[in-house]
Amino acid sequence: MKKISIAIDGTSSSGKSSFARKIAEKLGYAYVDTGAMYRAVTLYAMRSGFIESDGTIDVPGLIVGLPDVRMEFILNPQTGSNELWLNGENVEQQIRSIEVSDQVSAVSQLPEVREQLVLLQQQMGAAKGIVMDGRDIGTVVFPQAELKIFMTADPEVRAMRRYKELLDKKQKVSLEEIMENIRKRDLADTTRAVSPLKKAPDALTLDNSRMSIEEQIAWVEEKIRHLTEE
């Protein structure tokens, strides 16, 4: 059975990462969470003082510091998931905070940041047999991917998912705060000048507002079967 590349794009908190991770596990493919990579750069910028308390970014400083950012995904045997390590530290929990969420869209808009991470992502997926999710995978990173999926869900559904996820991680947030964050993220992601979030012409839309993860997996397995058996 031939290996393919699977590109998954979509809105914030639409369940892309969980969906992509399960597909990769079933196929025995590598999984790359590109959103986590942008979050890691954002965390690095915050820790390094390149983001002021008012959200202003010291762009020249961050660009100079980018070569110091080392990222790798390492399998956690306890969870069975690949977790992101930043400069030798597991930051999987820290990059999911609401503070990072509030800043990641601004950081990911910077052309220099996107250029460096897109190159790294393309290197990761050069051999195929990969599932990658993000905002511009099917349009910029892997426009040649055999299967492209654009995921979305109602904003209220996405906000509740994110709220429950953060509560499970013992983070104190309000549903209203998350709803506002999602609204801002959607606006920033779809209107940014560099690699805006948009559906690739040949991508399949998956609105999972009222679908279980099992139903989503069954849906995509049928699509994959046709592609890998050709």
Question: Nearest to residue 82, comparing CAs of 31, 17, 135?
Answer: 31
Q: Could you give the domains of the chain?
A: 5-218 (3.40.50.300)
pTM reported for the whole predicted model: 0.84
DSSP helix/strand/coil, 206: strand
Opening angle at CA 26, ends 23 and 27, nearest 5: 85
pLDDT digits (tens, 9 = 90+) for 85-103: 999 999 999 999 989 999 9
Residue 38 and residue 170: Cα distance in Å, rounded?
23
Range with the lowest mean pLDDT among 76-80, 111-115, 198-202? Answer: 76-80
pLDDT digits (tens, 9 = 90+) for 14-34: 999 889 999 999 998 999 999
Mean pLDDT estimate for the chain: 92
Angle between helices 111-124 and 34-47 (to 10 degrees): 140
Please name every residue paired with 71 in a beta bridge, in sequence order, or none if there are none.
Answer: 86
Confidence of residue 150 (pLDDT cuts 50, 70, 90): very high
User: Rounded to the nearest 5°, which phi and psi values hold at 115?
Assistant: -60, -45
Q: Given this model, what pLDDT does residue 230 score?
A: 60
Q: Beta strands 5-10 and 147-152: pairing type?
A: parallel
